[in-house]
Structure 1
Amino acid sequence: MNVHVPQSGKRLPSPIQLAILALMAGTSVAAYASPADAPAAEQSAAAAAAAADKNSSAITEVYVTATKRSTSLQKTPVAVTALNAAVLDDNHVQTLQDVVNLVPGFAATGQGDHGVITMTLRGIGNDSAKTEYADPEVASFVDGIYSPRPEGATALLFDLEAIEVLRGPQGTLWGRNSTVGAVNMQTVKPEIGSSAGNFEAGYGSYARLGARGAVNIPINDTMAMRVAVVHEQHNGYVNYQTAPNLSLADQHAAADPVIAKWNAAHPGNPIAFQPINTNLFVNNNQKYSAQDQSAARLSFLWQPSSALKWNVAYEHYMDRGTPSMNLMQTPRAGQDFWSALIDTAPSVNRDSHSLRSRVDYEINKDISLAYIAGYSRFNGSSTFDQDGGANIPTSFTTNGSYQANNTVWSKYKNYSHELEIQSTGKRDVDWLLGLYYANEDNGIRFDIPIMNGTQQGTVGWQGSFIQPKETVDSKAVFGQATWNATDALHVTGGLRYTSDERKNIGGTNNGWSNLDAPQIPVSPSMNPLGGGTGFTTYQHNDGVFNDHKLTGLVRASYEIDKNNMVYASVSTGYKSGGLQDGGVPYGSETLTNYEIGSKSTFFGGTVRMNNSAYYEKFKGFQFSAPVTYADGTRGLATSNAEGAKIWGVETEIAAKITREDRVQFTAAYTNATLKHLIGGSNDYVLPACTAPGITNPCLDVSGNTMPHSPKFSAQVMYQHSFALDSGTLIPRISAHYETASWLSVFNLGEPDKQKAYTRTDLGLRFDSNSKWYFDAYVRNAEDAKIKTSAMNANGPWQAQYLPPRTFGINVGKSF
């Protein structure tokens, strides 16, 4: 039997080259560009507000789309954090991991073996949502279009108008997997009649080189085009340790008893002594935790009349960087912290292509129609050193362990359609109705070779997980209405009915079980489904799973006066169940959120304060982990915990103390406690216990604290503007503090915890009167070692970490 191996996405530079040529062609003319996707009146107001902001003592009004309408942040009864382009630039936001410090109760976790970022909000997240196997609790959207896989459209952020982080269940309007929140990234749209643009280049530590730019190109009176490009690269943070240098006598002393025992048990397949081949250890070329990412976006706007507008965009993203490495929490004597003994060279080769479209049509002065559609295709492969050199081998087949987690190929394809019709203008009842359909077609081959000692040693265990086709069909109908009882009192109700179907077609788990076969690691050229390789198929994953749920929202808001509003809501969220290894189903998650909040503006608009308090009943928490089954085979198991009880409070304060002084402060208190769950995981050394279907050690974690949920976290930013003859000089400081937080549900003591820490970012920006700027920055000034995940499966505790101290400069110009 042959295995069909999809080709990894080819390196397709042509779209990016085309974008760069268009960008260069558009830089010959200059004009002022205002926000492109707002109505003309709003554009004029936004431009005037931006121009007046430097001389005003009031904070500029912010508009958000949290309710699928453009509304003032202070009039929107939703816990939402809005980050505009200036905030994103000031904080050097490139990925969602850079956003988390700016949002109360938000966390992001790096997942090294797949090189992706998973998110936690208000104490709830899913670290296993890194492939097609599991879905996130926090949904990601680009221009309102759901992005189901973290490797794709949200991997590198650029040319954004704003990011909105909506906290709490958003299932009624935003749909799939927004169980505890949603992140919506709004790209900058083309503008008719404008030839404005910008360009930036940067240099920094670890040989960082960055460049990005965008230009708006007018085509005619009804059409415009925007081209945006970005490239970011830096060397890896993790140095290579020297390969072990042991005498042959010491190697014989360690290996000879093992060889004798093996040969006695396997006379037909004897092994012989080999000296450790130091060439199998990596000591040059690209390091772990390196960045090499590029993207380009071509956007078009066609607006033949004031009633009809069509925005369409094509985006191509390429990643040729490397994954983050599992580092020793306590380095061996004589070794640097940012180093590892590596026997698997790092690689990432990923391409994604996305097409997004939105058509807005004003049927009449009372009703408008929107059709939102998206398509994306992702292909990728990667190699990762899972053992991280935790143990030094004493011979070719003793003490050490070679474990590589290799994505041989992965392919994710999805598309969605959404139709919305809603009321417009000022009415007694504002309403919105919608239909939604989404489809995913995913596949992956993931290999895990584990060898005793080194790659030359005997097989410890190895598997090849091949999932050629896994599909998701999701359909929904939804509606929401707001009764404007008075000018001050507004009552909202909404419902969404979702129906999901998942199919697992042809999936197999294949394990190496023939000890008399050649003792070599599984490789991409090997066919685990063919003969002579030592592999057998121990599990078939075929199955069909159907799920459906009705979710809803009830909310009331009251405007005490023009500067103060209070609101209260009850909302529910839902994440579909699915299929795990062996075609075994697991159940859905549900969340009920009770929330009260306030939004206030004080002192003539110079201070803005938004608060929220919530209580969440979380049921059916989907816990996923790699496990060993009773027959010795391995897989990724998902079980439903009873859930969790979570409550907390959040606050956001922005103040313009003077025309020159700005302060922003966010804080969150979170209490997130698990209900009943017995969990097992091969990533941890756990006490002996028995759980149905699992024979590796496991642990009753009922009552434990949810991971990535510090009790208290806070962020404060201060900047001052110095007016100079040639421009404005703006120093700024941003400090983040959080109390200790667990890194897994097991709560296994200090190594499984990130202790309380403070992280400080510094910046100095000069804005010239001639529209060029200079920006210098230092990130993680304390050089704090901040863990995002941990494991001790190899004995010593290891962890993934946020980057060390970095610094750099950017120089840019707008035209």
Structure 2
Amino acid sequence: MNPTTVRRRLASAVAVASGLLLPIAALAQGLEEVIVTAQKRSESLQDTPIAISAFNSEAIENMGLNNAKDIGLASPSLQTPAYPTTSNNLGFFIRGIGNADSIILTKDNTVGVYYDGVYAGRHTGVLSDLADLERVEVLRGPQGTLYGRNTTAGAISFITKKPSGEFSLDQTFSLGNYGYQRSVTSVDLPTVAGVKSHVDLTFTERDGWVENGGAGQVPGGDYNDFYLEDKQGIRIALRYDQIDRLVVDYSFDYSDMDTTSPYFQYSGATGAGISAAGGDIVASYRERVEKTYDAKTGQRRAYHLPLTTTRARGHSLTVSYDINDFLTFKSITGYRAFDDNLSQNFADSFGGASGLEVNTVTEHEQYTQEFQLSGSSASWKYVGGLYYLKEEGSAAERQYLDRTLVESTGIIAFDSSGPCVSGAFGAPPPVCNVLDPSFYPAYLGEFTVDSEVESYALFGQATWTPDILDNRLDLTFGARYTQDERTATRTTDGLLWNAFNPGDNGSDINQPDWSATADFRWTDQVSTYAKVSTGFRSGGSSPKSLDFSQTFDEETLVSYELGLKSELLDNRLRLNAAVYQTEIEDIILDYLPDPVNAPNIVDIFNSGEAEIRGVELDILAAITDNFQIGINYAYLDSDISDAVFPDGSDRTDTTVLVWAPENAYSLVADYYLQLDSLGELKAHLDYAWQDEQYALANTDAGEVLVGDYGLLNARISLDYVQLLGGEWQFAVWAKNLTDEDNVNYRIGQTSTTYLQPRTWGVDLKLRY
């Protein structure tokens, strides 16, 4: 974006904010205190020397944060790009650091996701619907000391409400366009035999908003619409706290998701000889469409698209015991697993002779165990412990250039003499001449990757408040030592044209991390901190590389941060800020050697260093007793040096960080009006804008950019209405209110997806 335009938009936002903040001193009451557990203990957000975005249950409801992707719009430093092959997985990026291919088992993520303290190594199926959350915490910057491996960018922590032991019922029904239906049932049950219990049930349906129809359909084939959703989930939570000093929490969750993938449109050049097969392409679709088309004919075409099915489940057991007034023992045991059968049809968006289809079947499970000892005294706060993770998974992927042809006729390849027919996928066709230049396989082959990870860690952190400077100085030091072991094996079907050869690899990493923080309270309302912290992301391998024995090493970083936490004007204005610099060594990059003709080949490697500099600003202000606004802004600048690629070329000048917008901000406004016996009227607006950003790290073949865009959401509700013995809420809402139709993902120069159209709906909620 033009820098002048950016400055103009920021100046306008600041001017509006200044105008809104002027009357605060005279009209508003104090802001509500926010409690977080970012440092493994409950404390005020303002007393925690970490850059944090925190959303309580009311903010989650007002903003319509129904799934994990929605969190990205509410926090400018967090990017959640739509995953290209499935709607059941997310890629998280914080401060420009993330993993674009977050679904694969042999490459770890940089943002740790935690569900009531349990780490989720893979993001597939985690929290398909955000139901009955107490809060969400987004920790920005490396969390290598307390959270450990693969939190170099930060961590996202979902904290659910705990059972109360008294009966209550919350029931929400929602209806909207595109056939949207949602039901959320939350029930607290009375205490039985000292056990408190809570149950959540969620059901969500939505029609696909890209209609998949037209020529090319084969009887018996699957031709679902793109972006379809059908999700169900259950969560059961139990709590036992009848023994003095002892609290036991257990939870089980299960999600069942049937969805379809995003729709990639061809948006490249047109004309004779444009396609990979030398044919004509007559149509390019550079605006959002809601029907499928064939770029080679410009006519409607149906693309083979089975449902993607995901079944995710998890158990967690947390036992907390207060040994004495100064020491607490906690055990957190977690198990998570998912089965995922993913199907994606790229719908000729790469401009080839036929559409690339991908089918991946993944089975994954992990076990984690953490033991903690924590406590405090007059001058000390401390926490330490042991951590263990065991992760196992298997992913089998099939790739097709024309799956409908294969499944309907058994033809899996062509040569100059015609089709080659085989009765099984396990052996090469008996006739095909693979040396023939016209050879064209319809079935590209199958490969399976089996992965196993085992990790051990010892960690500790202590905060000392020396008896000087009126006890306003806190000094914190933390350290962690991690041992990571990984093995992986790739097997294939042995077909002659299968690009992926068998192989195996492994790694053994021993990595220390540390952090040091000085936090000084200038007054009871204003504090500043200086922090240095390190982190690492484990090494691994690329399942889609031609050579599977090739591995990449761990990526390490050190971050320097200065922060401000303040509450001003009698606690009516909360102003927090952070300035940081992050230095990454052996940065892990993805590389598509030929994104046009072979988008299925992806290398992953270490290359050079990166430096990221940024500024973050969080403002929350109570303008009046009834009116509250929030302004959040993030600025990011980065450089990559010594970017040497696998072919030996130095591509420093054409290599960039992906999903790292230079500027991003969000504006939130909430207005409350008491209507006496009629309840309370609530009006909510939020607007999130992000600058243009790269979708591909190497831009040798031209910049692969997603343009800047902003999304406006709104919700109006009448709440706390006393009726028929219960408390009711009636609400109307809209997302993408202005119906923006910008590109939101891009693969290479021709394959693009677009923002979801405007959606709207109504909510009916009963509390009893």
Quick check: TM above 0.5? Answer: yes
Deviation string for 1:748-784 (max 9, x for gaps)?
A: 7997222222221111111133221012111111211
Residue 357 of structure 2 corresponds to which residue in structure 1? 404
Alignment of 1:652-663 (within 5 A): 652-663=618-629
Q: Please tell me the residue identity of whatever aligns with 1:502.
A: R
What are the equivalent positions in structure 2 for 1:181-200 lying under 5 Å apart?
181-192=154-165, 194-200=166-172
8 Å Cα contact 2:255-2:313 kept in structure 1: yes
Structure 2 counterpart of 1:780: 736
2:461 is matched with 480
> Could you say what secondary structure the match of 1:370 adopts?
strand
Q: Decide whether the 8 Å contact of 2:579 with 2:614 is kept in 1.
A: yes
Distance 2:374 2:674 in 1: 47
Change in CA separation of 1:757 and 1:538 when aligned onto 2, cut-off 3 Å: closer
2:78 is equivalent to residue 106 of structure 1: yes
Match of 2:521 among 555, 559, 564: 559
In structure 2, relative to structure 1, the CA distance for the partners of 1:206 and 1:565 (3 Å cut) is same
Confirm or deny: 8 A CA contact 2:721 2:729 kept in the other structure: no
CA distance in 2, matches of 1:637, 1:594: 31
Alignment of 1:150-189 (within 5 A): 150-189=123-162
**Does 2:433 correspond to 1:433?**
no
Task: Determine whether 1:584 maps to 2:544.
Answer: no
* Separation in structure 2 between the aligned mates of residue 283 and residue 663 of structure 1, nearest angstrom: 51
* Match for residue 380 of structure 1 among 334, 337, 340: 340
SS of equivalent residue, structure 2 residue 570 = helix
Aligned residues of 1:400 and 1:453 also touching (Cα < 8 A): no
Q: TM-score when scaled to structure 1?
A: 0.79
How has the CA–CA distance of structure 1 residues 510 and 639 changed in structure 2, closer, same or farther, with 3 Å as cutoff?
A: farther
How many Å apart are 1:461 and its aligned residue?
6.8
Confirm or deny: 8 A CA contact 2:107 2:541 kept in the other structure.
Answer: no
Q: Which residue does the alignment assign to 2:757?
A: 804
Asked if structure 2 preserves the Cα contact closer than 8 Å seen for 1:438 and 1:475, the reply is: yes
Q: Which residue of 2 aligns with 1:504?
A: 488
* TM-score, normalised relative to structure 2: 0.83
2:248 equivalent among 310, 313, 321 = 310
Q: Displacement, 1:140?
A: 0.5
Counterpart Cα distance in 2 of 1:633 and 1:75:
48
Q: Distance in 2 between matches of 1:452 and 1:160?
A: 42
Aligned residue for 2:662? 711
Given that residues 348 and 354 in structure 2 are in contact (C-alpha distance below 8 angstroms), is that contact kept between their aligned partners in structure 1?
A: no
Q: In structure 2, what is the Cα distance between the partners aligned to 1:167 and 1:786?
A: 27
What is the RMSD of the two structures over their aligned residues, measured on CA atoms?
2.6
* Partner Cα separation in structure 2 for residue 212 and residue 429 of structure 1: 43
Tell which deviates more after alignment, 211-220 or 663-672: 211-220
How much does 1:464 deviate?
3.8
1:814 aligns with 2:752: no
CA distance in 2, matches of 1:284, 1:351: 20
How far apart are the structure 1 equivalents of 2:397 and 2:712?
38
1:653: Cα distance to partner? 0.6
**CA shift for structure 1 position 376:** 1.4
Do the aligned partners of 2:688 and 2:710 also contact (CA within 8 Å) in 1?
A: yes
Unaligned runs of 5+ in 2: 1-26, 269-282, 294-301, 415-439
Secondary structure class of the residue paired with 1:323? coil
Whether 1:145 and 2:118 are equivalent positions in the alignment is yes
**Is the Cα contact below 8 Å between 2:94 and 2:111 reproduced in 1?**
yes
Q: Are the structure 2 counterparts of residues 89 and 283 from structure 1 closer, same or farther at C-alpha, using a change threshold of 3 Å?
A: farther
The answer (yes or no) to whether the contact 2:138–2:156 under 8 Å persists in 1 is: yes
1:463-542 → structure 2 map (5 Å cutoff): 463-467=444-448, 469-486=450-467, 487-505=471-489, 507-510=490-493, 512-513=495-496, 539-542=501-504
Q: 1:508 to 1:435 in 2, by over 3 A?
A: same
Structure 1 pair 164–747 and aligned structure 2 pair: CA distance change class (3 A): same
Superposed CA deviations along residues 393-444 of structure 1, whole A, max 9, x for unmatched, are: xxxxxx631321111x2100100000000124x4212111110000001001
- Give the conservation status (yes or no) of the 8 Å contact 1:281–1:344: no
Q: Does the CA contact (< 8 Å) of 1:548 and 1:576 recur in 2?
A: no
1:325 aligns with 2:276: no
Contact 2:106–2:451 (CA under 8 A) maintained in structure 1: no
SS of 1:100's equivalent in the other structure is: helix
Whole-Å separation in 2 of the counterparts to 1:334 and 1:589: 37
SS in 2 for 1:101: helix
Report the CA distance between 1:462 and its aligned residue: 4.5
Partners of 1:153 and 1:354 within 8 A in 2: no
Distance 1:333 1:140 in 2: 36
Matched-pair contact (CA < 8 Å) for 1:282–1:343: no
Q: Deviations over 1:192-243 (max 9, x none)?
A: 3x11231100000101000001111123363100001111110111122532
Q: Which of the residues 614, 617, 640 maps onto 1:651?
A: 617
Deviations 1:40-98 (A, max 9, x none): xxxxxxxxxxxxxxx98111101000110100001111111111111111111122210
In the alignment, what sits opposite 2:532?
570
Q: How many angstroms apart in 1 are the aligned matches of 2:401 and 2:540?
A: 29
Q: Distance in 2 between matches of 1:284 and 1:585?
A: 37
- Cα deviation for residue 151 of structure 1 reads 0.8
Q: Find the partner of 1:345 among 300, 305, 322.
A: 305
The answer to whether the Cα contact below 8 Å between 1:340 and 1:389 also exists between their aligned partners in 2 is no
SS in 1 for 2:501: strand
Secondary structure of the corresponding residue to residue 152 of structure 2: coil
Q: Find 2:674's aligned residue among 696, 712, 723.
A: 723
* Residues 699, 727 of structure 1: alpha-carbon distance in 2 compared, 3 angstrom cutoff: farther
2:510 is aligned with 1:548: yes
| Residues 298 and 659 (structure 1), Cα distance of their counterparts in 2 relative to 1, 3 Å cut | same
